[in-house]
């Protein structure tokens, strides 16, 4: 877990050169404690929201809080922003104010005195992070599509037949009609057909 140190305050002014952590967890993935684990922080800001844009309350507070000489630490680039444009805006906006930005996963630090190659690296690494997220979303969509094909595997799937259709199905099965042909006619799987028939016998 990221540990927050008590800021060293002198005469009402906070100490310069603080280490400030930014953590973001989505509504579906609350594994906040695994981000910046073991990193000593003077202060941390945590958003429990998607990173689809820059309008996140804790991010805005962080931007207002940090001062020249501070270092902002994120677990990874995709924790700070979900697209390349926002990533560049945030990083460059901070470094122009003399705030360093460090990404633990990528092992990269931006200071505002970076060479053109560093700016290129920021763009390339950010693009890779975005590409990786797109691949994950595509796999999720494919998984849902396959689950829909496998009857019953998709949570929230509605019944395929109305009560009247289910009753008619059971009647025709009892008359000896082919279960395979009935399933094809009604556009349901054989597993679904058997469930309707089994339900009618109980």
Which residues are identified as catalytic? 26
- In this structure, the dihedral spanned by the alpha carbons of residues 95, 99, 105 and 106, taken in order and rounded to 10 degrees, is 30
User: How deeply is 74 buried, as exposed, middle or buried, from its count of CB atoms within 10 A (0-12, 13-18, 19+)?
Assistant: buried
Distance of CA 16 to the CA centre of its chain: 33
Distance CA 45, CA 53 (A): 16
Residue 22 three-state SS:
strand
Tell me the residue ranges of DSSP E strands in 79-164: 100-103, 108-110
């Amino acid at each position: 877990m990221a540990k927050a140190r008590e800021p060293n305050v002198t005469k009402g002014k906070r100490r310069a050169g603080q280490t400030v952590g930014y953590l973001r967890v989505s509504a579906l993935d609350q594994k906040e404690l695994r981000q910046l684990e073991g990193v000593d922080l003077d202060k941390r800001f945590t958003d429990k929201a998607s990173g689809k844009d820059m309008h996140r309350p804790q991010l805005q507070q962080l931007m207002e809080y940090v001062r020249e000489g501070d270092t902002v630490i994120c677990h990874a680039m995709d924790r700070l922003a979900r697209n390349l444009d926002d990533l560049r805006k945030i990083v460059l906006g901070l470094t122009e104010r003399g705030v360093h930005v460090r990404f633990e996963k990528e092992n990269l630090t931006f200071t505002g005195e970076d060479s053109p190659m560093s700016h290129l690296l920021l763009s390339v690494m950010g693009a890779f992070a975005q590409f990786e997220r797109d691949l994950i979303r595509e796999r999720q969509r494919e998984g849902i599509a396959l689950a829909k094909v496998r009857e019953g595997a998709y949570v929230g799937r509605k019944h395929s037949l109305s009560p009247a259709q289910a009753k008619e199905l059971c009647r025709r099965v009892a008359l000896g009609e082919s279960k395979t042909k009935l399933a094809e006619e009604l556009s349901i799987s054989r597993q679904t057909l058997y469930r309707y028939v089994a339900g009618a016998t109980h």
